[in-house]
């Protein structure tokens, strides 16, 4: 189960949901120097100029900003609100923001990738008039639908004031924040020994190699700079090597921790803002944690969980200190403690399906970690925003990998 290869592909876990999460990521306070606070609506490499008011055919003038980007890059909601209009012919929609403003998203994809057959989806399934979406939530994909069929793929984005007046969105886009800022992202692992790190959602990634197959990948903030970077753990002998950069290079630190058969965990065990290592020893049901990076004895240990369950770490109560949870693969039981001590679980619930891989992260930027599962059987990431048994809140197809880890949005 823990034989894991080393290529990681990161996507922001700000995914689509028919239901909206209770803890939505907060946008900045409204209107600083006249700038409307919003999330940039395209995830990935793009370029745009100020063409608001430019003449168009039929005596029209351009009412928005054309954000040029590759077809099938994700389009996200610029602000939280309710879908007020969806084109009956595909592929455009309007979001009525919670604060009275609104935004339009036009020329969304309507083709199977790489073709012009009109058979693909332009709007994320489940999104229709009256559905509430959160800022940064995926609503569709860049395309060339409508009267843009013979142009380069782009998103036509419009921003409207509460009285319905279209204004130039150019200056506001320049100040917009990326959808992943303040949130964790999920990292997917395949067998290529290559890390793929998009800065926002599914854009063109930075690619680099680190580690070798069969070592276990983790992500952590090893140098306390606020960004998680890769580490690898060798289950056969407890060898750890890590880097402080998301780029190709040699390890910045190497040491041994644990014994053969231990399962590695990464987290901030003392609230100092720096991640370090722990191991879970299935033969004992014991966690051995260390607050420094290096070979040495554990700073503390405690028993928790049932051997055979899959351990994971997260800050489940938002106190700045990570603790340990367990996931039962056969039935989806999740349970965790908020303290790094022996004792009963503080919370338990059912989530996922047999064979899922679990990870915890702060997917919505509210300071609390919740769980997500990667489902190898169909390539979906499924996110639980409340750590409760209940309907899935977010899901997104991401592809075929072996496991999932969490990283920092940037």
**Which pLDDT score, from 0 to 100, does residue 21 have?**
33
Q: CA-CA distances (angstroms) from residue 132 to 79, 95, 99, 362?
A: 11, 9, 13, 21
- Residue pair 211/24 in contact (Cβ under 8 Å)? The answer is no
Are 212 and 318 contained in the same domain?
yes
Are 93 and 130 contained in the same domain?
yes
Are 120 and 148 contained in the same domain?
yes
**Which pLDDT score, from 0 to 100, does residue 7 have?**
35
The answer to the question of residue 208 being in a domain is yes
* pTM (global) more than 0.85: no
Are 235 and 317 contained in the same domain?
yes
Are 150 and 214 contained in the same domain?
no
- Mind listing the pLDDT tens digit for each residue in 255-289? 999 999 999 999 999 999 999 999 999 999 999 99
The answer to the question of residue 338 being in a domain is yes
**How confident is residue 28, by pLDDT bands cut at 50, 70 and 90?**
very low
**Which pLDDT score, from 0 to 100, does residue 376 have?**
83
Are 301 and 346 contained in the same domain?
yes
Are 121 and 259 contained in the same domain?
no
- Residue pair 79/172 in contact (Cβ under 8 Å)? The answer is no
Are 328 and 369 contained in the same domain?
yes
The answer to the question of residue 27 being in a domain is no
The answer to the question of residue 20 being in a domain is no
Of all residues in the chain, the percent with pLDDT exceeding 90 is 47
Count of structural domains within the chain: 2
Cβ count near 282 (within 10 Å): 18
Are 372 and 280 contained in the same domain?
yes
- The residues, ordered by sequence, that sit 6+ positions from 328 with a Cβ below 8 Å of its Cβ are 306, 308, 309, 310, 334
Are 201 and 95 contained in the same domain?
no
**How confident is residue 190, by pLDDT bands cut at 50, 70 and 90?**
low
Residue 170 pLDDT greater than 80, yes or no:
yes
Q: What is the DSSP string of 275-320?
A: -EEEEEETTTTEEEE-SSSSSS--SEEEE-S-BTBEEEEE-TTSSS
The Cα 293–Cα 19 span in angstroms is 41
Which of residues 150, 175, 200 is at a domain's end? Answer: 175
The answer to the question of residue 25 being in a domain is no
Give the domain range for residue 343: 7-13+182-408
Structure token pair of residue 277: 């290592």
Which of residues 122, 140, 175 is at a domain's end? Answer: 175
The answer to the question of residue 39 being in a domain is no
- Mind listing the pLDDT tens digit for each residue in 60-102? 889 999 999 888 788 889 999 999 999 887 789 999 999 999 9
What CATH number has the domain bearing residue 144? 2.70.70.10
Which of residues 175, 207, 233 is at a domain's end? Answer: 175
The answer to the question of residue 23 being in a domain is no
Average pLDDT score, the chain:
81
**How confident is residue 292, by pLDDT bands cut at 50, 70 and 90?**
very high
Report H helices in 138-230: 170-175
The answer to the question of residue 118 being in a domain is yes
- Residue pair 19/130 in contact (Cβ under 8 Å)? The answer is no
């Amino acid at each position: 189960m823990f034989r894991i290869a080393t290529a990681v592909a990161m996507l922001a876990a700000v995914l689509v949901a028919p239901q909206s999460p209770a803890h939505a990521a907060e946008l900045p306070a409204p209107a600083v120097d006249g700038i409307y606070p919003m999330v940039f609506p395209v995830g990935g490499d793009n370029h745009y100029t100020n063409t608001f008011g430019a003449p168009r055919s039929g005596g029209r003038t351009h009412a928005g900003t054309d954000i040029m980007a590759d077809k099938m890059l994700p389009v996200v909601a610029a602000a939280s609100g309710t879908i007020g209009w969806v084109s009956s012919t595909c592929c455009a929609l309007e979001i009525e923001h919670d604060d009275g403003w609104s935004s339009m998203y036009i020329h969304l994809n309507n083709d199977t990738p790489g073709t012009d057959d009109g058979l693909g989806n332009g709007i994320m399934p489940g999104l229709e008039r009256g559905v509430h979406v959160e800022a940064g939530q995926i609503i569709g994909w860049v395309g060339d639908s409508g009267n843009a069929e013979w142009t380069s793929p782009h998103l036509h984005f419009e921003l409207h004031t509460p009285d319905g007046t279209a204004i130039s969105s150019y200056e506001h886009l320049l100040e917009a924040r990326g959808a992943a800022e303040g949130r964790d992202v999920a990292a997917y692992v395949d067998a290529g020994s290559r890390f793929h790190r998009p800065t926002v959602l599914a854009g063109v990634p930075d690619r680099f190699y680190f580690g070798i197959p069969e070592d276990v990948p983790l992500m952590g903030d090893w140098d306390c700079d606020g960004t998680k970077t890769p580490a690898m753990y060798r289950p056969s002998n407890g060898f750890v090597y890590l880097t402080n950069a998301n780029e190709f290079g040699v390890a910045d630190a190497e040491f041994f921790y644990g014994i053969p058969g231990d399962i590695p965990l990464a987290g901030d065990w003392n609230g100092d803002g720096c991640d370090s290592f722990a191991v879970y020893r299935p033969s004992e049901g014991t966690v051995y944690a260390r607050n420094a990076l290096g070979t040495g004895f554990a700073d503390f240990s405690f028993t928790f969980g049932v051997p055979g369950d899959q351990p994971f770490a997260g800050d489940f109560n938002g106190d700045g200190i990570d603790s340990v949870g367990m996931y039962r693969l056969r039935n989806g039981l999740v349970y965790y403690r908020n303290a790094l001590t022996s004792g009963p679980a503080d919370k338990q619930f059912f989530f996922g399906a047999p064979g899922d891989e679990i990870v915890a992260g702060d997917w919505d930027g509210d300071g609390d970690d919740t769980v997500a599962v990667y489902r190898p059987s169909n390539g979906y990431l499924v996110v639980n925003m409340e750590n409760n048994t209940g309907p899935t809140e977010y899901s997104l197809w991401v592809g075929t990998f072996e496991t999932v880890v969490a990283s920092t949005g940037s």
